[in-house]
Amino acid sequence: MKKRCAPLVLLLLLVADLCAQQSNQSAGLMIRHRLMPVPMSLRFQPGRLAINSSFSVAVTGHSDARLQSGIERAIKRLESRTGLALTNTVKSGQQGAVLVIKCERAGQAIPTVSEDESYTLEVMATQAQLIAPTVVGALRGLETFIQLLDGDRAGYFIPVAQIQDKPRFPWRGLLIDVCRHWEPIEVIKRNLDGMAMLKLNVLHLHLTDDQGFRIESRKYPRLHQQGSDGHYYTQEEIREIIAYAKERGIRVIPEFDIPGHTTSWLVGHPELASAPGPYQIERKYGVFDSALDPTREETYKLLDKFLGEMAALFPDAYLHIGGDEVTGKHWRLNPQIQAFMQQKGLKDKHALQAYFNQRISQLLQKHGKKMVGWDEILHPDLPNNIVVQSWRGQKSLAEGAKKGYTGILSSGYYLDHMRTAAYHYAVDPIRADSDLTEQEAARILGGEACMWGEYVGPENIDSRIWPRMAAIAERFWSPRTVTDVEDMYRRLEAVSVQLEDLGLMHQTYLGKMLRRMVGGEGVEQLKTLIDVVEPLKGLGRAEVIPITQMTPLTRIVDVAGADSRPAREFALMVEGLLNDSPRFHVYRDGVQRLLEEWRQVHPAIYTLADKSPIIREAETLARDLSELSRAGLEALGYLSEGVAPPEEWRNEKLAIIEKVAKTKSEVEFPILPTVRLLIVAAGEMPQLKTMTPGNWKAHITALANPKK
């Protein structure tokens, strides 16, 4: 393990140095900062502000309990990172203070989408000044100040800098599904801490679905008593979550999915159903036919009282009604519903759902709320103050904006699809080639990442949200021009550690789960394998082995991360190696050490599986990794010796790649394209020797990734 650290460190330093030349957005001093999200305007100057035991904070202008709490949290984090004992007494005058916060006003009593989150941070050699129009802006600036902390032999410091910052989009959210798998309040709180650090401002709680009704209703207690397996938030806990979020400048929006995804509603109230009961909580996942009966007045009477109860509990101006994936089958099979549709002139299920949504919109307006829903709710008969949350994509979102509807994007931000941070980072709520007018573009308020709950529980949910969510947060906050993927990954490494300091478990979960798998022995060998596989992307996992709500989430696929760092490092080193054509010396040792390490995993896993049946599925993975590694080592040998392999060798090794790619498994090897590149490059040795790196890259890439 230790032998390969040096070349990897050198590689990362090389990438970091190259990125540093692009990461500072103005003409000031070049500093390799670790800020995330990147501020709107950032300029470094020579000098440093020392952070030592005399550190103190002063507040001028407005100060209140929320700002005081934010300062106390910031000081505690500085203490944790520096080991210094700092005073948390806030001064009223700026004389002698290291950080002076000038806040104009409290801001809005209830966080809203129009909250002013801007701030200016000026760091001088003797003092830093944080100026913000509202407390929320000051909280955002405090997060930047903490991220600027650096250290060297002389001690801890903040570099001299001038920052002007505000978000690009006003709606920057995270949806957490607590229905498919229950997430206790402590999970929600620690993720709110992570959201605050990354300047996110909307927590969307998906509270009802076929698999669970997760909130207490005092007006209709059968809803949570019979639809939750006893796992739900009391109203006091909801108030606690809302208060915790408000302290951090975060809004909380509830979602009650209707008229579909409502099996858990119907367990306690089957009289609302479109088809006869009885109903039970769904344990499987998917789209089900159960739906509320939109033709019965009893449905609206219950929803009126329930939504009124929830509107009083949740102070945010918006309430989410879901509205997605209604199959219409039970509506079609119900003679009374069909007669109602004929009487009202409703030609299909879409028209009937639009009728239902209009009724719900009126109820929400009565209770002082604006409607949010998925794409399916979009209809010309609904008021244009609704917000459409788009899972269909940027085109659908833009079409809604042209029709006068505000919207947020979630397509491309489904965290449960286990795509890389780079994938999410490339998705923008507004396409670069958009033809929207300025007025239409302003209707796109931002976006929300979605953590759907089929494959996550309290133990591994953090690892499915963080640190990838930080890349999405940057896309929502920073200027459109901030797009350097390698620099994003460099900064993400530092941010990931800081998130862990907040109490998130996205890193610590791994050791615990691996030790449980192998009884404490052989963890390193298993980790080597886990680190180089990723769960299948999109909905691929469900197509291999369907699971239910009762399936334990403790297997290889539940532990493997979405964004393999060794695979990224391997790809960078191989690219550097091939760029060194025709010598192929650069990074050769690093590539060889990684391949050797992976090749040796198979016998270790085979031995571990004798004692731990739960990892027997890893034997096939380890064997495949060993084959891939041997093929890569052979390719590296041909490149190093400058000898072209026989034609049959290339065909044989590429066949291994195809075999591994087609192996039925819930995980995949992200190193496959890079190993294929090595094999093809070895096979093209004579041509490589005559090409410049720019030319060979296009040539080899085309051969390694043939169009199907």
pLDDT at 3: 37
* C-beta of residue 204 within 8 angstroms of C-beta of residue 320: yes
Gap between the terminal Cα atoms of the chain: 39
Residue 17 forms part of a structural domain: no
pLDDT at 693: 67
pLDDT at 6: 42
Backbone Cα Rg of the chain: 28
What is the bridge-based pairing of β-strands 128-134 and 150-152? unpaired
pLDDT at 218 over 50: yes
Q: How far apart are CA 15 and CA 22, in angstroms?
A: 11
- In this prediction, what percent of the chain has a pLDDT beyond 90? 86
Helix axes 672-683, 647-662, angle to 10 degrees: 170
pLDDT at 333: 97
Return the amino acid letter for 135: V
Residue 696 forms part of a structural domain: yes
* Residue at which a domain ends, from 144, 165, 186: 165
pLDDT at 606 over 60: yes
pLDDT at 416 over 60: yes
Q: How far apart are CA 181 and CA 458, in angstroms?
A: 8
- In three-state secondary structure terms, 265 is helix
What backbone torsions phi and psi does residue 545 show, to the nearest 5 degrees? -135, 100
Q: How far apart are CA 262 and CA 555, in angstroms?
A: 30
- In three-state secondary structure terms, 42 is strand
Determine which one of 240, 325, 500, 596 is catalytic.
325
Residue 707 — pLDDT band, cuts 50, 70, 90? Answer: low
* Residue at which a domain ends, from 127, 145, 165: 165
Tell me whether residue 543 is one of the annotated catalytic residues. Answer: no
Residue 495 forms part of a structural domain: no
pLDDT at 17: 44
* C-beta of residue 74 within 8 angstroms of C-beta of residue 82: no
Query: Which residues make beta-bridge pairs with 174?
Result: 203, 449
Return the amino acid letter for 205: L
Does residue 382 or residue 204 have the better pLDDT?
204
User: In this structure, what DSSP letter does residue 166 have?
Assistant: -
Q: How far apart are CA 154 and CA 341, in angstroms?
A: 77
Contacts of 597 (CB under 8 A, 6+ apart): 1, 4, 528
Residue 438 forms part of a structural domain: no
- Domain with 110 in it: what CATH number? 3.30.379.10
Residue pointed to by tokens 């599925």: 617
Query: Which residues make beta-bridge pairs with 667?
Result: 535
Residue 158 forms part of a structural domain: yes
Residue 363 forms part of a structural domain: no
pTM over 0.85: yes
Residue 384 — pLDDT band, cuts 50, 70, 90? Answer: confident
User: In this structure, what DSSP letter does residue 447 have?
Assistant: E
Characterise 323 by phi-psi region: left (phi > 0), alpha (psi -120 to 50), beta (else).
Answer: left
Q: How far apart are CA 613 and CA 519, in angstroms?
A: 11
pLDDT tens digits along 631-659 = 999 999 999 998 889 989 999 999 999 99
pLDDT tens digits along 19-47 = 444 444 444 566 789 999 999 999 999 99
Query: Which residues make beta-bridge pairs with 60?
Result: 102
pLDDT tens digits along 509-538 = 999 999 999 988 889 999 999 999 999 999
Characterise 288 by phi-psi region: left (phi > 0), alpha (psi -120 to 50), beta (else).
Answer: beta
pLDDT tens digits along 79-111 = 999 999 998 888 878 888 999 999 999 999 899
What backbone torsions phi and psi does residue 397 show, to the nearest 5 degrees? -65, -45
Q: ∠ CA(427), CA(428), CA(430), 5° rounding? A: 140
For residue 658, give the H/E element and its range: helix 647-662
Quote the number of domains for the chain. Answer: 2
Q: How far apart are CA 139 and CA 162, in angstroms?
A: 17
pLDDT tens digits along 136-173 = 999 999 999 999 999 999 999 999 999 999 999 999 99
Residue 553 forms part of a structural domain: yes
Q: Tell me the pLDDT of the chain averaged across its residues.
A: 93
User: In this structure, what DSSP letter does residue 609 have?
Assistant: H
Question: What single string gives the DSSP state of each residue in 56-73?
Answer: -EEEEE---HHHHHHHHH
Going by C-alpha positions, the residue among 137, 131, 161 that lies closest to residue 58 is: 131
Q: Quick one: average pLDDT of 540-565?
A: 95
For residue 488, give the H/E element and its range: helix 485-501
* Residue at which a domain ends, from 116, 148, 165: 165
What is the bridge-based pairing of β-strands 57-61 and 41-51? unpaired
Residue 629's alpha-carbon distances to 581, 646, 670, 673, in angstroms, are: 22, 19, 13, 13
pLDDT tens digits along 254-276 = 999 999 999 999 999 999 999 99
- In 368-484, which residue ranges form alpha helices assigned H by DSSP? 394-402, 421-425, 438-441, 461-465, 468-477
Going by C-alpha positions, the residue among 121, 322, 300, 85 that lies closest to residue 206 is: 322
Q: Domain containing 69: what range?
A: 27-165
pLDDT at 365: 97
pLDDT at 588: 96
pLDDT tens digits along 432-454 = 999 999 999 999 999 999 999 99
Residue 680's alpha-carbon distances to 542, 653, 675, in angstroms, are: 33, 9, 9
Residue 545 forms part of a structural domain: yes
